[in-house]
Amino acid sequence: MKFGIDRLLAEAELRKELAGKRVALVAHPASVTAGLEHSLDALIASRDINITAAFGPQHGLKGDKQDNMVESPDFTDPVYNIPVFSLYGEVRRPTGQMMSTFDVVLVDLQDLGCRIYTFITTLLYILEEAAAHGKAVWVLDRPNPAGRPVEGLTLQQGWESFVGAGPIPMRHGLTLGELGHWFIDHFKLDVEYRVIEMQGYDPDAAPGFGWPLDQRIWINPSPNAANLNMARAYAGTVMLEGATLSEGRGTTRPLEIFGAPDIDARAVMAEMERLAPKWLRGCALREIWFEPTFHKHVEKMCHGVHIHAEGGFYNHQDFKPWRLQALAFKAIRRLYPDYPIWRGTDFKYEYTNDVLAIDVINGGPGLREWVEDAAAMPSDLDALAKADEERWEEERRRYLLY
């Protein structure tokens, strides 16, 4: 199979359409060819594409920031002497001056298939600015490693943010190229848009179910996205960024685990099993102990849980990461009624103010309110989510390219 970048490099007819045009590239560390060459280097080496600028999203063009919510500066590439603009620094939306450096922008970003992953918001902002400035946008498409399943509540109107680009559920089941088509229709954008589709891609094929395990190795699209297991779990574990529990930052398995110094992980897992055993299917949960070297609970021994959505434990259709993590919160609240699960409004999450991070992450307060309601059962959250999921399944159908 071929990703979009590999098709562009291999097919002269595609590149001909860029002849005589100034071209910019939006990329990150996972923007590599099948031969593991970074897309910026490969495109410039092709010699028939005039790269005049590059853009780096959160964490940088080739990787420069390990922790979350750390901004990156603009700079001049020391090898190619072109401007590299940060879309996670002084601005997150490209300025008019940035837009003036190109005619066509190529977006080559590996996404994780989750609404909160900031690369999809970066795509939306680029599309909006391209529409305003008469520029063309090409997405060099890549797989959605979480596959086609849809899960979670839809972002509510008024809860839009840099981690909430529009009314889609947490796990959207689209590739970045497909999502761009939806953005254009939903936000009624008049923009020249093209997807360089993947060739030979089957999002339902085992064993990767979204990621071609037999053909492409995993490259971290962001520092804490270390493997396919993380990508599968992320639609649930990302909610831990709004909680006081550790999500494993400061360990070697971030966003695959959760825990804290003052919870009994065995009791939590038992309560999860008692409340909603169906929500634990498709993976294995393993009791662990870990001590973060930085971030939450630094240098404190935490009792926790490792989510294994991999190997023989993984069932693609049964695994529900958003429900699983919601259930963990519910179990902790039932076991520890006064436990301070949520980070407070003093924690400014992704450029928001005076709101709880957990609500920003979920695109509204529904998940948190369900956790806090002692009378609310798993069936209540399931009913809310299923309605949103079924609506999105129908809405997204026309945008599927594979």
Domain at 48, CATH number:
3.40.50.12170
Range of the domain at 195: 4-222
- Write out pLDDT tens, residues 254-286: 999 999 999 999 999 999 999 999 999 999 999
Tell me how far apart the alpha carbons of residues 208 and 389 are, in angstroms, rounded to a whole number.
23
Which pLDDT score is estimated for 343? 96
DSSP state of 317: T
Which pLDDT score is estimated for 64? 61
Which pLDDT score is estimated for 73? 78
DSSP state of 164: B
Q: Do residues 384 and 366 make contact, with C-beta atoms less than 8 angstroms apart? A: yes
H or E element, residue 83: strand 83-86
Residue-level length of the chain? 402
User: What's CA 372's distance to the chain center, in Å?
Assistant: 27
For residues 119 and 167, membership in a common domain is answered with: yes
Which pLDDT score is estimated for 63? 75
Number of folded domains that form the chain: 2
Sign of the CA dihedral with 5 first, then 11, 15, and 17 last: negative
Q: Do residues 331 and 299 make contact, with C-beta atoms less than 8 angstroms apart? A: no
User: What's CA 294's distance to the chain center, in Å?
Assistant: 22
For residues 202 and 251, membership in a common domain is answered with: no
Kindly list the distances between the CA atom of residue 131 and the CA atoms of 13, 15, 104, 231, 333, in Å, as whole numbers in the listed order. 25, 22, 12, 31, 47
For residues 44 and 161, membership in a common domain is answered with: yes
Which residue is listed with tokens 């434990």? 313
SS3 content of the chain, % helix, strand, coil (to 5): 35, 15, 50
- Write out pLDDT tens, residues 290-338: 999 998 999 999 999 999 999 999 999 999 999 999 999 999 999 999 9
For residues 207 and 338, membership in a common domain is answered with: no
Cut 0.85: pTM above it: yes
Which residue is listed with tokens 């966003």? 255
Q: Do residues 79 and 49 make contact, with C-beta atoms less than 8 angstroms apart? A: no
Which pLDDT score is estimated for 71? 66
For residues 187 and 267, membership in a common domain is answered with: no
For residues 199 and 246, membership in a common domain is answered with: no
Q: List, for the chain, all residue ranges whose pLDDT scores fall below the cut of 50.
A: none
Tell me how far apart the alpha carbons of residues 250 and 66 are, in angstroms, rounded to a whole number.
10
Which pLDDT score is estimated for 74? 85
Tell me how far apart the alpha carbons of residues 197 and 177 are, in angstroms, rounded to a whole number.
8
Which pLDDT score is estimated for 165? 95
SS3 assignment, position 52 = strand
